[in-house]
Amino acid sequence: MADLLLSRGDALVIVDVQRDFLPGGALAVPGGNEIIPILNLYIQAFAQRSLPVWISQDCHPPHHCSFIPEGGSWPPHCIAGTPGSQSPSDLKLPPEALLILKGQQKNQDAYSAFQGTALAQQLQARQVETLFVGGLATDYCVLNTVQDAIKLGFRVLLLTDAIRAVNRTPEDGDRAEAAMIEQGAIPITYLDIDP
């Protein structure tokens, strides 16, 4: 799909690009760092047109139920207030980017950026209709965010050049991407918006 002009009603949603999900972090997503320069291009394209940018962050209490020592399935990660929970400094976020924190409840995991947050209300308040979604990880938080967005009636463009998967079992990322597209997400790359 070429020549997709950005316009009013479009928003960029960057899911969980946080140090703990990057190589060297507590729950590193392989190649997660490779999407940062691509996301910076999308950010620039949106900022130039005064279109809004949201970022979600996984933000857990120290003994969150998703952590292995608590009986969950992940190493402790993205604990509120720790360096691992922060955005990497090379992600060039605009000062007006809107921040959505999720996973803050100790006894509930939240993969989707919509779960237990005001994201849907904020998007609707700004008359957003189309979400351009990228970030980490394809097979968890991106997948669940995109599925919720579609259920809520947003048009979703999936930034296939700006997502990476955990791939705990091989092909999880490929399967998640196929599922999102099957469910209505439109796969694009940066060249589609800036040909």
Residues belonging to the active site: 16, 102, 141
Closer by beta carbon to ligand VGL, 130 or else 167 = 167
In whole angstroms, give the CA distance from residue 8 to residue 15: 21
Residue nearest Zn ion, CB atom distance: 58
Return the closest-CA partner of residue 87 out of 176, 19, 38.
Answer: 19
Measured N-to-C along each axis, helices 172-182 and 143-151 cross at an angle, to the nearest 10 degrees, of 10
Report the interface residues with Zn ion, using CB under 5 A: 58
Told to check if 137 binds ligand VGL by CB under 6 A, we report yes
Task: Please choose, out of 46-54, 81-89, 120-128, 137-145, the segment that lies near ligand VGL by the rule CB under 6 A.
Answer: 137-145
In whole angstroms, give the CA distance from residue 167 to residue 2: 29
CB 133 to ligand VGL: min, Å:
12
Closer by beta carbon to Zn ion, 46 or else 74 = 74
CB 181 to ligand VGL: min, Å:
18
Closer by beta carbon to Zn ion, 58 or else 177 = 58
Among 16, 161, 177, 192, binds ligand VGL (CB under 6 A): 16
In whole angstroms, give the CA distance from residue 144 to residue 123: 17
Q: Count CB-CB contacts under 10 A for residue 150.
A: 16
CB 141 to Zn ion: min, Å:
8
Contact call for residues 187 and 177 (beta carbons, < 8 A): yes
CB 136 to ligand VGL: min, Å:
6
Contact call for residues 177 and 185 (beta carbons, < 8 A): no
Question: Which residues ranging from 36 to 65 are in contact with ligand VGL (CB under 6 A)?
Answer: 58
